[in-house]
Amino acid sequence: MDTSHVPEFKKTIKDEGMIIVYEDKASFRRSATLHQTWAPVNTQSKVLSKGQYNRQKIFGAIELSSGKFFINTKGKTFILKPISSLLKN
């Protein structure tokens, strides 16, 4: 394979057995708020609430070369099938 057009850092990554990943994080808040909802005209929707505001944080990364997808939530790591195989189904 001709690698003359490949940047030097990519050659180093391949030679050292490293991988490139893109990563992101998100936070989801679980609260019983009435922001937008459907209800009959002139009727207030009721939302039962315990008065707690829980938050779920999630971290994910995708490996550039293989498409492997990694998720970490609550200290547990999951490795999912490559994205390409999920899109085929």
What is the distance in angstroms between the CA of the first residue and the CA of the last residue of the chain?
A: 32
Decide: pTM greater than 0.75.
no
27-39 pLDDT per residue, tens: 887 766 666 777 8
What does the pLDDT read at residue 3?
Answer: 55
Q: Please give the Cα distance from 78 to 8 (Å, whole number).
A: 32
| Span 64-87, average pLDDT | 71
